[in-house]
Chain A
Amino acid sequence: MRIQKKITGFMVLLLFFFSFVGSLVPSAHASDAKKTYVIGTDTTFAPFEFQDVNGDFVGIDMDLIKAIAADQGFEIKIQSLGFNAAVQALQSGNVDGVIAGMSITDERKKVFDFSDPYFEAGPMMGVAAQNTTIKSYEDLRGQRVAVKAGTEGATFAESIRTKYGFSIVTFDDSSQLVDEVKAGGSVALFEDYPVLAYGITQGNGIKTVTPKEKGGSYGFAVNKGQNPELLKMFNDGLAKLKSNGQYDEIVAKYLGSADAASGGNIDSEAGAAKDSRLALIWQSMPAFLKGLGNTLWYTVVSLFFAFILGLIFGSMKVSHNKVLRAIATVFVDLFRGIPLLILAFFIYFAIPQALGFKIDPWLASILTLSLNAGAYVTEIIRGGIQSIDKGQMEAARSLGVPYGTAMRKIILPQAIKVMVPSFINQMVITLKDTSILSIIGLVELAQSGKLVIARTYQTFDVYLTIAIMYLIVITILTKIADRLERRVSRG
């Protein structure tokens, strides 16, 4: 105890020392070096921020903040956190500013200071390019329109729904809206203008027939009362870019023409150099392969932990102790009974919010998959053990061999042969289940496909490629597993 106290005391002292020295160092540098600001942003919100084919973050926000930083002479470090995480990081001071297509609202103004608006958003209606019947909101009567949950487009559509007498269907993803309209499920979509405009420049088969509605505008945010110099530099830089034409260039780069910024005509050929379908897939292949690598990695790691959980709870399930059996039964019932999607939401969103801590998507994903697969592996192991004749355990025990040793050396080696086919089955299921984790932003194969679709709107080609990749990998793995199984059952 005494030694421990001494060590703790020493550590505290050390900490003080370093924080003191640390506080001196930057101030010595600040005068002669450019100050670096950490800027938080969203992961995908085309055309404001998204990954290009090389995996670099590009978009109007990104180009704008870089140009302003260059103009005003400060350094930036971009952190792509996701919208909600970026906002939280700003509040907690982990980042100095956020630029993420963030609407300036009265509510947000209470906690943040906003720059001058740098983009006029607002909702706009889109219809299929070959559609000739919908020319105004009047034509929507009795029809169905698609919106994306939580957007200004959704709010606007809701506000005019009764007036024009149409019904609304809600989706989670911009590309789903486009596919819904192209497939004819809905006649029109309401989407935030820049997102819609960007999609059109990518040739997503949508056109606009009505003007943009008045809506919110986007601003750069800092924490209330903090970093005023950063805010000022942003405003000064923005004004300068607007006057020297650089702002228009940036907007035109993503939305086709300069007056697109104010809702003018959108050039659907702007994404111009239209790549062939094959070339698009080929370009996206590095992203897909990286996603596939993650899928395999998460499968392997999760199955590893699932196996450990299964061994622990499986042994508890076959034990003679009632309490242990009950605990294992609760574990299995709980994690087998909760759908994977709900479990992921619970671990990633609900528990951290209730208990006030943060959890990374990768950790939440591994926890979710391990617990879910762990419940199934427990049952596989229990079934395997119980399929072995009772006489085996009795024979070993009658020789004086303790229970644990008999379990490890006599029962499990035989039970594993019985379990192998079920394990292979579980492996395939878990591999496919990783795709569900894309919902909490895990960039595995399915999510890497979604990201490419968010940029290119090539739904069919991308999902076809992704599906084929899953098929190939699972077929290869099953073949290997088959061979392994044959070897195990022979030996």
Chain B
Amino acid sequence: MDKVKVSGLKKSYGSNEVLKGIDMEVQEGEVVCVIGPSGSGKSTFLRCLNLLEEISAGKVIVDDHDLSDKNADINKIRENIGMVFQHFNLFPHMSVLKNITFAPVELKKQTPAEAEKQAIALLERVGLADKANAYPASLSGGQKQRVAIARALAMNPDIMLFDEPTSALDPEMVGEVLGVMQDLAREGMTMIIVTHEMGFAREVGSRVIFMDGGYIVEEGTPEEVFGNPKNERTISFLEKVL
């Protein structure tokens, strides 16, 4: 079953067209890694999937909801799509626990007690149970991003979007975040990850998409894309980063 179905997606800022027509699907349980040079439109593409960017043309269907429909209840749809940002975007005025329980409680998904119980379980899962009462400012980058993942998971989403989740981290902290993501993948979460971590894409991704100039240039299994790239631009990009 298609979790995500994108057809003819275009996005422009004024006269600057960033996405020039994207078609792709994501199956349930797939881990799709989106790679490509900066400015290729991969982050914009990801942000169109939960409407953080408005869609200029084309269709985006997530979980059978048509995001391009003006009357779609976007808040309801977003509850089902978790997102993790490059710069974490934790709420600095709330404790770690409150960061995680805020949305489920505010949106009446759970009672405060239920939400706290779940938050502690999530924190254990990302290895930060002891930081429940800490404030984001006292955490390292890796810890922050793990809390951000727990926060997204607290809404029990069907799909998780990751927008360069390790790009802002010191190298020694990349591993702990990727570890959590790998666990998630193993549990069968549907994930779309914009990343520069080629090793991770190769190891964990079930499919790799290479974007350049607003198009999907090449896609396939990690073996196909990394082992035997067909397109010129893919080859030259991979030569530079590997």
Contact = CB atoms under 8 A, between A and B. Distances in A.
Contacts of B103: 396, 399-401
A414 B92 contact: yes
What 6 pairs between A and B have smallest CB-CB spacing? Answer: A400-B79, A395-B89, A391-B89, A399-B103, A398-B83, A400-B78
Interface string A392-410: 1011111111100100011
A402 B78 CA distance: 10
A248 B106 CA distance: 80
Of the four ranges (under 10, 10 to 19, 20 to 34, 35 or more), the interface on chain A belongs to: 10 to 19
Interface in B77-110: 77-83, 85, 87, 89-93, 102-103, 106-107
B107 A400 contact: yes
Contact of B52 (A394, A402, A410, A414): A394
Interface of A: 389, 391-392, 394-402, 405, 409-410, 413-414
A399 B89 contact: no
A396 B76 CA distance: 13
Contacts of A410: 91
Contacts of B87: 389, 391
Interface residues of B, number: 26
B75 interface: yes
A399 B107 CA distance: 9
B152 interface: yes
Contact of A409 (B77, B106, B152, B155): B106
B151 interface: yes
Contacts of A414: 91-93
A417 to B, nearest CB: 8
B107 A395 contact: no
Nearest to B154: A399
Given A394-B52, A405-B106, A409-B102, A400 B76 contact: yes
Contact of A392 (B76, B77, B79, B91): B91
A401 B83 CA distance: 13
B174 to A, nearest CB: 20
B195 interface: no
A332 to B, nearest CB: 27
Nearest to B91: A410
A405 B107 CA distance: 10
Given A392-B91, A395-B89, A401 B81 contact: no
A398 B75 contact: no
A472 B155 CA distance: 54
A394 B85 contact: yes
Nearest to B81: A398
B50 A395 contact: no
A395 B78 CA distance: 11
Given A400-B107, A401-B102, 14 more contacts: A391-B85, A391-B87, A394-B89, A398-B78, A398-B152, A399-B107, A399-B151, A399-B152, A400-B78, A400-B79, A401-B107, A402-B75, A413-B93, A414-B91
Nearest to A402: B75
Contacts of B77: 400
Interface string B55-89: 00000000000000000000111111111010101
Contacts of B90: 395
Name the residue among A396, A401, A414 with the largest chain B CB count within 10 angstroms: A401
Given A391-B87, A394-B85, A399 B92 contact: no
Contact of A398 (B50, B76, B91, B106): B50
Contacts of A396: 91, 103
Contacts of B82: 398-399
B78 A399 contact: yes
18 contacts: A389-B87, A394-B52, A395-B89, A395-B151, A396-B91, A396-B103, A397-B78, A399-B78, A399-B82, A399-B152, A399-B155, A400-B78, A400-B79, A400-B155, A401-B103, A401-B107, A410-B91, A413-B93
A394 B82 CA distance: 12
Contacts of B152: 398-399
